[in-house]
Structure 1
Amino acid sequence: MIGTLGGLIGLGGAEFRLPLLIGFFNIAPLEAVIMNKAMSLVVVASALPFRASTVPFGSIAEHWTIVVNLLAGSLLGAWFGAGWAVKLRSDTLYKVISILLVVIAMVLLLGHDTKAEQPLLQGTAQLVAGIVAGFIIGVVASLLGVAGGELLIPTLVLLFGADIKLAGSLSLAVSLPTMLVGLTRYSRDQSFSVLGRNKVFLLSMAAGSIVGTFIGGLLLSIVPNGLLLPLLAAILLVSAWKVWRHK
């Protein structure tokens, strides 16, 4: 189910997976973030080719300057965010995760009906804003173990004037290297061993995620994002409440 959402919208689906890992599977927050990061990587890597029938790779390549602009900030933010996450106490990390989930839900609600228009900024101002936005998104992505698409997509639509479906694929192109940097930083912490201890669980979730992204890619040309994103925002708010109350 989460993979389908990821393939349809251009997300890693981690915002919906994280509360399940913490609340339903009872995994410690930092280890849940690391597992979430690994699963998000699977979703993003498989979603890009499955979406190609609607958003060809050529369209992504034409906008490579936007991808590079955001990556200039997001790669650095991912490294710092992962470093901060491993130092936070579990109860503090629960609260941080909850707050970020609410913020992402608000972004979805405010930006779900935006359409491709003129970019908000031009020239040097746009370049600087892209780097700053990328850094913030990279930090959030590492703290939550997410791909960051919920923040990347509104940024691409509002700041760069991208079409919502193109923005979904561009966000995946930015998310992939950003998550690799975050995982590399997490690998230096002992909590990274959670991946080795849960191989069967991770492989089964990865298999389901790939099937889901395939279905989501097929639905991309059918389901309007304007109807789906408000529902996703509501799910995020419920998830944030559950994580906040988790002991």
Structure 2
Amino acid sequence: MNSITAILVFVAGLIAGTLGGLLGIGGCVIMLPALVFIFKYPLPLAIGTTITAVILTATSGAIAHIKLRNVDYSTAKIVAISGAVGAAVGSITFFYIANQLWLLNFILGFAFLYVSIRMIYEGIFKRKMPAKTGNKVPGSRFAKSLIGFFIGIVTGIVGLGGGYALVPSFIYLLGSPVKIAVGTSLASFISMAVVSGAFKLYQGVVDAIAAICLGIGTIIGAQIGARLTKIFPSWAIKAVFGFVFLYVSLKFIYQGVSVLE
């Protein structure tokens, strides 16, 4: 990777981090499409590079939320362990389907379809996350283990799962306060990202320089995005980017169909 490309990838990470911090969706759902559609990375390499970059992002975010006391440590421990196991299962699965580009495109397409529908719904109806108080994520150990395990599998396969899946799972399935859901998801997700990233490095599908550039960019961008929430209404931006992600999801699905033809 030359210096100009490295700078452009850093800028992509900066934008991803800013939008992720502003919308509360995590940077990975922006980084991955950028690598595929803008920088023309092969899909397996884009997945491996994205999840490796997220190690830096999740760690930085988790440290910030630990300082703010927004982490439920008991839940984070359960989800981190079950998620790491799931990430290993997903990463092994990825090894066998990495050459099945049609399948990877379909999985990503439907993953982004979920993101787009949720954002459009929350944006158009100005739906706010439940305003609950407390410093714990409710729910049984079994429920939390299942959530961690299955999101870990998704993370291992397609490099997504933190803000886009864990946060809404904690909030809508378990009834967690928003700030605790965000902080706990970041702390929980580190293990999934590390396991997935390690597998992808071993499998040779990580551009390490790009991952570092993206990771640093998202760390800086997340701070910017957090400050912009005071200026821009998040519901309006969610609605706009919901349709953007709808396009992304359909593009992944179309690519999957094209590969099959």
User: Which category describes the TM-score, using the shorter chain as reference length?
Assistant: 0.7 to 0.9
- Specify whether residues 152 and 226 from structure 1 end up closer, same or farther in structure 2 by C-alpha distance, changes over 3 A only: farther
Aligned letter for 1:72?
I
Q: TM-score under structure 2 normalisation?
A: 0.76
Name the counterpart of 1:245: 254
Cα shift at 1:225: 4.8
- Specify whether residues 110 and 171 from structure 1 end up closer, same or farther in structure 2 by C-alpha distance, changes over 3 A only: farther
- The answer as to 2:36 corresponding to 1:25 is no
Aligned letter for 1:187?
L
Residue 105 of structure 1, aligned match among 113, 116, 137: 116
- Specify whether residues 109 and 69 from structure 1 end up closer, same or farther in structure 2 by C-alpha distance, changes over 3 A only: farther
Contact kept? 1:11, 1:172, Cα under 8 Å: no
Name the counterpart of 1:172: 186
Q: TM-score under structure 1 normalisation?
A: 0.80
Name the counterpart of 1:135: 149
Residue 60 of structure 1, aligned match among 62, 70, 73: 70
Cα shift at 1:173: 0.9
Distance across 1 between alignment mates of 2:16 and 2:249: 17
Aligned letter for 2:179?
K
Name the counterpart of 1:195: 207
User: What are structure 1's unaligned runs of at least 5 residues?
Assistant: none
Distance across 1 between alignment mates of 2:47 and 2:167: 21
Q: Give per-residue Cα distances to partners, 1:68-106, cap 9 Å, x unaligned.
A: 222232111111111111211122211111112213334
Aligned letter for 1:140?
V
- The answer as to 2:110 corresponding to 1:95 is no
Contact kept? 1:98, 1:240, Cα under 8 Å: yes
The alignment's C-alpha RMSD in Å is 2.9
Distance across 1 between alignment mates of 2:55 and 2:82: 19
Distance across 1 between alignment mates of 2:120 and 2:156: 22
Aligned letter for 1:170?
T
Contact kept? 2:66, 2:183, Cα under 8 Å: no
- Specify whether residues 228 and 71 from structure 1 end up closer, same or farther in structure 2 by C-alpha distance, changes over 3 A only: farther
Cα shift at 1:67: 1.1
Cα shift at 1:146: 2.3
Name the counterpart of 2:84: 75
- Specify whether residues 166 and 219 from structure 1 end up closer, same or farther in structure 2 by C-alpha distance, changes over 3 A only: farther
Percent identity of paired positions between Structure 1 and Structure 2: 22
Cα shift at 1:147: 4.5
Residue 198 of structure 2, aligned match among 178, 181, 184: 184
- The answer as to 2:12 corresponding to 1:2 is no
Contact kept? 1:19, 1:243, Cα under 8 Å: no
Cα shift at 1:59: 1.9
User: What are structure 2's unaligned runs of at least 5 residues?
Assistant: 1-14
